Amino acid sequence: MRKKSRGIVILLAVLTIFLLVYAGLRMWNGEQDKKEEEEQEAARVYVTDTPAEDIVSMKISVGNGDLEFEKENGTWYYTPDKDFPLQQSYPEDMAETAGAIEAERELIDGDSLADYGLDEPSYTIEYTDADGSLVQVKFGDMTGDDYYVTVGDQGIVYTVAGTVFDTFNYALNDLAQLDTYPSIGSGNLVKEVITENGVTTTYDSADEEQAEDITAIAGGLGAVTLSETADYSVDDADLPGYGLDGDARTTVEVTYTEDETENVITLYIGTQDGSGNRYVMINDSRIVYLISEEICNNILNI
């Protein structure tokens, strides 16, 4: 019995030593990995070095039209039109990238800026930090998949991966935070009330005689996509131009279920745009959307 107990003790001691050695190796490997990462980071060359949170304005010109943003109280705005519904993730990502553009290499004893297309830059990214310092990154000719780049008047030429543009390569329309539209179909459409020219028409899914109408209406409601816009922040004075003022518009109040709860969404349908669409607004949003006349006709059961 004593022999058996001694054997177990020896096994436990060996296991303990093994675990200690294993833990030590893992710690050593972790420290080596950390050291290697620190060395790699120290070897990197950055064209720009500004924390994203310190950037308060940006001007982007990379081929999709000039974009200009400014930040107030932690919120980004499109400078030419502060009412534009700017999706915050875009300027946040742009500031993150603009403030830490990594160089592929730095050219030592290079030629003149003109030789790299930097005397007349193809693209520019410029930003201002909270202290008012302006940083302008100029992009010249391409070399393989990279661009020649210089910053301000430093005269130093770098190469930067062409993928740096991925974060900035958007047109203004791509940056809009549009309204959310629910999923509506014949299975969850409860009722639709249409008011047009003072006349109200009701379609109720509980009315078996209206089953065919409900199916057609649900098909129209289910086909709506809020992707194409005519105006991002319409003024009341401009509503008549879209046929969306007061009694001129057609009001469609839709009751539907979502997660066993009844919800209501209101669509305001205006005039045609001359290209097969009609102007539409949703609830109290100030965005005017373009929705095909065919879909609108289905919604209105025409």
For 128-142, write each residue's pLDDT tens digit.
999 999 999 999 999
> Which region among 90-94, 216-220, 230-234 has the lowest average model confidence (pLDDT)?
230-234
pLDDT of residue 17: 75
pLDDT of residue 203: 97
pTM of the model: 0.71
> Which region among 11-20, 38-47, 209-218 has the lowest average model confidence (pLDDT)?
38-47
What tokens were used for 7?
A: 């054997």
For 26-77, write each residue's pLDDT tens digit.
765 655 555 444 444 445 789 999 999 999 999 999 887 899 999 999 999 9
> Which region among 30-34, 214-218, 281-285, 294-298 has the lowest average model confidence (pLDDT)?
30-34
pLDDT average, residue stretch 75-100: 96
For 149-197, write each residue's pLDDT tens digit.
999 988 899 999 999 989 999 999 889 999 999 999 999 999 999 999 9
The number of CA neighbours under 13 Å toward the Cβ of 53 is 0
DSSP β-bridge partners for residue 252: 194, 267
pLDDT average, residue stretch 110-121: 89
pLDDT of residue 65: 83
**Residue 298 CB neighbours (<10 A):** 20
| Cα–Cα dist 231/227, whole Å | 12
Short-list 11, 99, 88, CA closest to 50: 99
| Cα–Cα dist 163/145, whole Å | 8
**Residue 137 CB neighbours (<10 A):** 22
